[in-house]
Amino acid sequence: MTAQRGFRFGVNMVVPKSRAAWVEKCRRAEELGYDVIGIADHLGVPAPFPAMILAAEATQRVRLNTFVLNTPFYNPTLLARDVATADLFTDGRIELGLGAGYVKAEFEAAGIPFESGGARVDHLERTVATLRKLFADPEYVPRPVQQPGPPLLVAGWGDRLLSVAAEHADIVAFTGAATTAAGALRVAGPAEMADRVAFARNRLGARVDEVEFNLLIQWVLPSSEVPASVAEFGAILPADVDGRPERLPIVLVGSPEEIADRVVDLRKTYGFGYFTVLEPSMETFAPAMRILRSLD
């Protein structure tokens, strides 16, 4: 079990179409008490680095992260420049989240080969090595404020990606779901989550108490919405939840008090201390977050 640390909470958001709307949304996230604003990296929405810099201008304390970059989209040396510039212009409030990319259609639209999962993870690992090397160079310009570079979050699920995360990351982010070769969503139940966390802990070795564990929460629901969610997602529920989505590690259900209790249980069971919710759950999760703050 990773050493228990204080909770951190993030919200992963999609940048809206106007500057004013993005500023308002970021200020609202900070007002609600979130520690981190995450920005998704997909085609069809604004680019993450300009969005992070504007979010920093609009807020006072909240940290900003890429949650997560499709790393194969980026040349590692050029990415280092973007990361360092963003960290400089936000006074050191950046967390760098990296993933291997999974949406084949986006790669095709960008004219970038959608290589095998192993090849995409290899590119991610090369990217991390390049960033580490450049940021360790005292002559490197632009110089990031945080040394030796912004904290690194690596998100994944499979053995290879979790191994890279365990070797290099400051934060290991568990997606709680995977996509099949056909592109369908496969959601993990408690047993598979326990297996993935145990695998990462084993690979971390002596680093296990130094690394933060993040969990991406896909749904935060009042109890009244559970029947509808069963009807919508029943086909992808794993066998060990017995048709009850509230048993999924990536689903929080109930009153603020019940949700807070479930988060405490997830920390005790798996070692998660850093939780990220999706934008539609930002307001719903906030009352539970306030309860959780009082426990640390």
For residues 270 and 197, the answer to whether their CB atoms sit within 8 Å is yes
User: pLDDT-derived band of residue 290, with 50, 70 and 90 as boundaries?
Assistant: very high
**Given the structure tokens 């998704």, which residue do they identify?**
40
Contacts of 22 (CB under 8 A, 6+ apart): 15, 16, 46, 51, 54, 55, 58
**3-state DSSP call for residue 235?**
helix
- Say what the pTM is: 0.95
Tell me which residue has tokens 């939840």: 241
Q: If you average pLDDT over every residue of the chain, what do you get?
A: 93
Q: What's the pLDDT score for residue 177?
A: 80
pLDDT band for position 230 (50/70/90)?
low
Rounded percentage of the chain residues whose pLDDT exceeds 70: 94
Structural tokens at position 158: 């499979």
- Judge contact between 52 and 29, C-beta under 8 A: no
Tens of pLDDT, residue by residue over 96-149, are 999 999 889 999 999 999 999 999 999 999 999 999 999 999 999 999 999 999
* CA distances, 183 to each of 39, 66, 102, 154, 178 (Å): 23, 23, 8, 21, 9
Q: Which range is least confidently modeled, 47-56, 174-183, 197-206, 216-225?
A: 174-183
**How confident is the model over 260-279, as pLDDT tens digits?**
999 999 999 999 999 999 99
Fold of 8-293: TIM Barrel (3.20.20)
1 pLDDT higher than 50: no
pLDDT at 184: 62
Cα–Cα nearest to 56, from 145, 154, 138, 172 = 145
> For residue 24, what are the contacts with CB-CB under 8 A and spacing of at least 6?
none
Decide which of 50 and 246 is more confident: 50
pLDDT exceeds 60 at position 250 = yes
Give CA–CA dist 250/265, Å, rounded. 13
DSSP letters spanning 73-103: GS-HHHHHHHHHHHHHHTTS-EEEEEE----
pLDDT at position 163: 98
Query: Residue 2's pLDDT is what?
Result: 45
Looking at residue 22, what is its pLDDT? 97
SS3 191: helix
